[in-house]
């Protein structure tokens, strides 16, 4: 994987969880392109920057509602 120079895109699902997906492939159902494309390490670095709360959105909402 270290010599993988393919383009990837950062994708996010409705629970605001992130992953990467090969740029030449259609984004899978339930996921949306997040707007960042690059090499695998670049995409993973981007996710490290933007995914600051690993809890799923539904859990965050439930915790907020509980007080």
- In tens, the pLDDT along 21-57 reads 999 999 999 999 999 999 999 999 999 999 999 888 8
Q: For the whole model, what pTM was predicted?
A: 0.83
- Is the distance from CB of 11 to CB of 19 less than 8 angstroms? yes
C-beta atoms surrounding 36 within 10 Å: 18
């Amino acid at each position: 994987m270290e010599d993988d120079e393919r383009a990837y895109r950062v994708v996010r699902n409705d629970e605001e969880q992130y992953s990467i997906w090969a740029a030449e492939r259609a984004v899978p159902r339930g996921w949306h392109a997040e707007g960042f494309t690059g090499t695998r390490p670049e995409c993973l670095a981007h996710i490290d920057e933007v995914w600051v709360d690993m809890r799923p959105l539904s859990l965050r909402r439930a915790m907020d509602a509980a007080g």
